[in-house]
């Protein structure tokens, strides 16, 4: 059984993860429209990851014997100024998600919910990785000024990314 405040923020996080999934799906569509299938693939994998994160939170709430309450997901942006802008928005979004995860952990600590703290540690670690990956891509994009042959090569590299549901191994 979860305390009321913990349940509230977990349900909010399910919706935040669904928003993240839709944001990355919109970014994938943007890159497909720009003829960048590798970048589109990278964002589609992000979409799959965020969907799996939402499902992990969903299943945790259910496992704790509580009611999942889904809310409306706000409209995601669908246009950006260019590739660098997309990844700057991605980094900003991941930093915001990190704040949400940190808040969840703060609530779990304040509520002395040790099970929630254990559950959330995986997400804390995941956010460090998420921010680092996006920062690396953004640094590379800035190095090549978001254009030219470097984009072609980076797009080819981005095609290689595949979805692996790491949430299944994390318990």
pLDDT tens for 40-93 read 999 999 999 999 999 999 999 999 999 999 999 999 999 999 999 999 999 999
Cα(50)–Cα(74) distance, integer angstroms: 16
Residue 43 gets which letter from DSSP? H
* Domain made up of 4-158: CATH architecture: Up-down Bundle (1.20)
**Domain edges within the chain:** 4-158
Amino acid 54: pLDDT:
98
Cα(6)–Cα(91) distance, integer angstroms: 27
Cα(81)–Cα(61) distance, integer angstroms: 38
**pLDDT tops 80 at residue 170:** no
Q: What is the dihedral of CA 30, 33, 36, 39, to 10 degrees?
A: 20
Cα(20)–Cα(13) distance, integer angstroms: 10
Residue from 117, 1, 124 nearest 53 by CA:
124
| Strand, coil or helix: 113 | coil
**pLDDT tops 90 at residue 166:** no
């Amino acid at each position: 059984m979860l305390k009321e405040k913990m349940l509230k923020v977990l349900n909010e996080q399910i919706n935040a993860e669904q928003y993240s999934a839709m944001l990355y799906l919109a970014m994938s569509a943007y890159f497909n429209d720009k003829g960048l299938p590798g970048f589109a693939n990278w964002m589609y994998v992000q979409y799959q990851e965020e969907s799996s994160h939402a499902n992990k939170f969903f299943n945790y709430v259910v496992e704790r014997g509580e009611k999942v309450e889904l809310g409306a997901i706000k409209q995601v942006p669908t246009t950006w100024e260019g590739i660098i802008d997309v990844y700057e928005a991605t980094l900003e979004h991941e930093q915001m998600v990190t704040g949400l995860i940190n808040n969840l952990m703060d609530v779990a600590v304040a509520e002395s919910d040790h099970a929630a703290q254990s559950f959330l540690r995986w997400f804390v670690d995941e956010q460090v990785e998420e921010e680092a990956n996006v920062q690396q891509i953004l640094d590379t994009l800035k190095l090549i000024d978001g254009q030219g042959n470097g984009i072609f090569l980076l797009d080819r590299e981005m095609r290689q990314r595949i979805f692996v549901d790491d949430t299944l191994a994390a318990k």
